[in-house]
Amino acid sequence: MSFFEMFMLICFGTAWPISIFKTIKSKSTKGKSLFFLVIVFLGYLSGIIHKILYNFDLVILFYILNAMMVLIDIILYIYTSKKYNHF
């Protein structure tokens, strides 16, 4: 298990709850990019697949947790855009 990989995922993971909270509180997607969120989500999925196929260890839990938070942010982005931005 790589300490540095785990630390990187923890550092990145601290940003997602803040982002989710901001979207819920402001009811706005201003300053967010759905394209960016999807790219990050795909990156986490890629990390999960790599862990399953080549290097399975407990760091996979951090990939899964981060991916879930990004997915929540994506869902909030879509919901908020439709409800409050009148697409």
Query: Rounded CA gap, 71 and 37, in Å?
Result: 8
Q: How much is the pLDDT for 85?
A: 63
Q: Using one digit for the tens of pLDDT, what is the confidence trace for 22-80?
A: 999 998 888 899 999 999 999 999 999 999 999 999 999 999 999 999 999 999 999 99
Q: Which residue's entry shows tokens 């997602």?
A: 16
For the cut 60, the answer to whether the pLDDT of residue 11 exceeds it is yes
Query: Rounded CA gap, 77 and 33, in Å?
Result: 9
- pTM score, two decimals? 0.89
What is the DSSP annotation of 32-70?
A: --HHHHHHHHHHHHHHHHHHHHT--STTHHHHHHHHHHH
pLDDT (mean) for 2-28: 93
Half-sphere exposure of residue 43: CA atoms within 13 angstroms, side-chain side? 10
